[in-house]
Chain A
Amino acid sequence: MIRLQSVTKVYPTSARPALDNVDVEIEKGEFVFLVGQSGSGKSTFLRLVLREEKVTRGGIWVAGKDLTRLSHWKVPALRRQIGTVFQDFRLLPNKTVAENVAFALEVIGKPRHSIAKVVPEVLDLVGLAGKEDRMPNELSGGEQQRVAVARAFVNRPMILLADEPTGNLDPATSVGIMRLLDRINRTGTTVVMATHDSHIVDSMRRRVIELEEGHVTRDQSRGVYGYSR
């Protein structure tokens, strides 16, 4: 589903590569934690998969596509197969919960009747049934993140990328979000989650890829956050 082969990424403003000769293969339906300190290359990993950045050297394949050869105008088609969730939720403050989720479908040109059908379904899935007409600022952080997950998942992507999705949430709320991601993973969606949260990693016991200064220092199935803490 996601394959990086000897990938090196150097940003023009930095001398040290953000990723240095990284080999990673993630199968369809896997749940993978990406751990490591700030600046270790987690975000770069996600940005490369989203094709927000191009690799400097090496090969990268996502959802069967060779991203090094993917032409600019085919990038939107790639991103429709990837859902993304961020630490800061990134909701539109002037749209309701339902409109925020519908927005993701409107901008890829989905017909109105199918939007009207799937939006309530996905809101129900994330546990926000009955809150369709609330505005984001009327919701708790956890609820806002559920809206973001609903938006990322509403198009039934093959891959879900989550960049510190629990970073702004308290531990109890985080558990709820993790249950949700786990549920989404069990529908066959590949989930890649970058995180700092050792409790979550330790409790989930899933594959852990640890990055340190752009190198993969650990790749462990059913792993924990790290020996060092």
Chain B
Amino acid sequence: MRWSFVFAEMRQGLRRNLTMTVATTLTITIALVFLGFAWLCHAQINRTHDYWFGKIEISVFLKQTSTGPQQEAIEHELNSLPQVKQVFFEDRSEAWVRFKKEFAKSSPALVANSSEAQMPQSYRVKLKNPRQFNVVAQAVQNMPGVDQVAAEPDALKRLFSFFDRLGQMVLVAAIIVLVAAVLLIFNNVRLAAYTRRREVGIMRLVGASDVYIQSPFVLEVVACAVIGSALAVGALFLIKLFVFDHGIGYAFNTNLIDIIDSGTVIEAIPYLLFTAILASAVTAVGTLQRYLRV
């Protein structure tokens, strides 16, 4: 096998169909950008989830009027739930310390007008899996002596659903563009096979092997895929910078989340490259099987 010859054929083919080459490359780029974006959204959810995994706790606030036996019953119930990892009791003085710490700076007036006696007693419940919040909350919500049950901060809930929806939408877009890319590759290869039917006819006639005849076509498309991947990775770094670092910084309280770093983008590179090369090579070979029969 003389690869220099195969590569020369490939370069010639890419130049001959320059507009189609550019169109194919850009379509692959867009498909991969969407795919990579979906990946980043997913990574952001996981990362935020991990960040909060050990921290989330349920607070079961007690009524001021709750009695000793009621509290014992609640504590017993919480401890008997399999989802619960640990239960602490926070009394009024501990609650007062926490209250003062949280609001001393932001609203000193509120602290000045409050007293330890107004603080609610609560059970702080650590969960084995923070997502099972609902099960635990429902179990104790209506017990006598319980005022209310609070869990995940709202912002976190919104964040999860935001990234979930965004990720899903982008994934759908990625699939649509990927289908477009595959169709474009199919058409491109078919066109290339047609333009080079004379060469191909002669190659067959003199006994060139299938691999020799087909590899320039496949390599052309794979070259588009590799260039497309490179462009897509560049675009993903920009998305990371503008959408995640800046955009999310404005939309959400950044203390709540740990934003993905460049490492997440770098991790995506081999997957994107693999997807692009596999999809393009399989499409090219499939097309050639149909339009370049020996």
Contacts and interface: CB of A to CB of B under 8 A. Distances in A.
Interface string A72-90: 1101111111101000001
B47 interface: no
Interface stretch (A104-112, A121-129, A211-219): A104-112
Interface stretch (B74-82, B128-136, B201-209, B268-276): B201-209
B215 to A, nearest CB: 11
The winner among A109, A112, A151 for most chain B CB atoms within 10 A is A109
Nearest to B205: A84
Chain A interface residue bracket vs B: 20 to 34
Contact of A107 (B198, B203, B294): B203
A70 to B, nearest CB: 12
Contacts, number: 57
Closest 9 CB pairs of A and B: A79-B207, A80-B207, A107-B208, A104-B206, A76-B207, A107-B203, A76-B209, A106-B5, A84-B205
A166 interface: no
Nearest to A77: B207
Nearest to B203: A107
A84 B198 CA distance: 14
B204 A103 contact: no
Interface in B1-55: 1-2, 5
A76 B200 CA distance: 13
Interface string B202-245: 11111111101100000000000000000000000000000000
A107 B1 contact: no
8 contacts: A73-B209, A76-B208, A79-B204, A79-B205, A80-B206, A81-B207, A108-B212, A151-B206
A78 B5 contact: no
A174 interface: no
Interface in A86-137: 90, 92, 103-104, 106-112
A155 interface: yes
Nearest to A85: B205
B261 interface: no
Nearest to B213: A107
Main SS class of interface, B: helix
A157 B78 CA distance: 89
Interface string A54-78: 0000000000000000001101111
Interface of A: 50, 72-73, 75-82, 84, 90, 92, 103-104, 106-112, 151, 155
A107 B201 contact: no
Nearest to A110: B2
B94 interface: no
B203 A109 contact: no
The winner among B1, B206, B213 for most chain A CB atoms within 10 A is B206
Given A78-B207, A79-B207, A80-B207, A103 B202 contact: yes
Contacts of A112: 2
B202 A104 contact: yes
A90 B1 CA distance: 24
